[in-house]
Amino acid sequence: MPGKTFFVDLSRCTGCRGCQIACKQWKQLPAEQTRNTGSHQNPPDMSAVTLKVVRMKEVGKGDDFKWLFLPDQCRHCLDAPCKMAGDDIVKDAIAQDKETGAILFTEKTKDLPFDVIRGACPYDIPRQNAKTKVMAKCDMCNDRVLAGLKPACVKTCPTGAMNFGERDEMVAMAKKRFEEMKKTNPKAVLVDVDQVRVLFLTEYEPRLYHGNLMADAGGPGSYTRLAVLDKLLSPLRQARG
């Protein structure tokens, strides 16, 4: 499978939020007015102007207490459900770059039903500009990548948690690190490695980091992309006759 891929080793993420800020700076996106929610996570969620957010969880008690960090973003699925859903309504409103594999939201997304596109994503990533109705998410810094640069988030990461390169190289790196981690962390998971271009390696069960970190977090058989799309698009198809 050609194209680019991220490998994110969450055991090396310190929650510094450098990637989150770098994303905003490169995209020239504004800050958001927020309030204290009892968590260091800020903003509390993604939006049309916050395309990447570092999720923070406190789990366990006493000697078992630990901080878990997740730099959440679009996974750039190999067979993206959002694009499949979009193409059934407005062809290529959601595009895929042939060279990098990046999934890209275009201006045409304003003509797509937001609930359908967001509902098609197992990671709950798409967001919508309330005024323009154009949808937004991480675009892999595709302009930088096509110019031979790394995504801004990867360039900024100080610990080596975030890596980026050719897919075969990143998958090999991820699998090697996974095998090493399993020796000391038997619950380690290399999340959805055959489905996405953003490979997260967790030390613990993915659900501890975030409910939508893993596509099938609800349990075996709880999710198939085609089943979800068929359910979401059925009313639209019926309405069009």
pLDDT tens digits for range 30-84: 999 998 888 999 999 999 999 999 999 999 999 999 999 999 999 999 999 999 9
Q: Rounded CA gap, 62 and 162, in Å?
A: 30
Residue count (the chain): 241
Contacts of 186 (CB under 8 A, 6+ apart): none
Q: Rounded CA gap, 97 and 103, in Å?
A: 7
Query: Tens digits of per-residue pLDDT, 156-173?
Result: 999 999 999 999 999 999
Q: Average pLDDT for residues 132-145, to the nearest whole number?
A: 98
Q: What are phi and psi of 226, to 5 degrees?
A: -65, -40
228 has pLDDT over 90: no
- Give the up-direction half-sphere exposure of residue 60: CA atoms within 13 A in the CB hemisphere: 11
Residue ranges per structural domain of the chain: 81-139+221-240
pLDDT at residue 36, rounded to an integer = 87
Query: Structurally, what CATH architecture does the domain formed by 81-139+221-240 represent?
Result: 2-Layer Sandwich (3.30)
Task: With cut-offs at 50, 70 and 90, classify the pLDDT of residue 134.
Answer: very high
pLDDT at residue 220, rounded to an integer = 38
The closest alpha carbon to 159, from 74, 73, 69, belongs to: 69
229 has pLDDT over 70: no
DSSP alpha helix (H) spans, 88-196 = 114-120, 142-146, 152-156, 167-182
236 has pLDDT over 70: no
Task: With cut-offs at 50, 70 and 90, classify the pLDDT of residue 227.
Answer: low
Three-state SS for 168? helix
The closest alpha carbon to 154, from 123, 199, 190, belongs to: 199
Show the tokens assigned to 177. Answer: 């690190």
Query: Tens digits of per-residue pLDDT, 160-211?
Result: 999 999 999 999 999 999 999 999 999 999 999 999 999 999 999 999 999 9
| Percent of residues in the chain assigned helix, strand, coil, to nearest 5 | 35, 20, 50
pLDDT at residue 14, rounded to an integer = 98
Asked if 171 contacts 6 with a C-beta cutoff of 8 angstroms, the reply is: no
**Higher-confidence position of 20 and 241:** 20
Three-state SS for 131? coil
pLDDT at residue 235, rounded to an integer = 61
148 has pLDDT over 90: yes
Q: Rounded CA gap, 43 and 54, in Å?
A: 9
pLDDT at residue 115, rounded to an integer = 96
How many other β-carbons are positioned within 10 Å of the β-carbon of residue 88? Answer: 17
What DSSP assignment string belongs to 132-158?
T--EE---TTHHHHHTTPPPHHHHH-S
Task: With cut-offs at 50, 70 and 90, classify the pLDDT of residue 232.
Answer: low
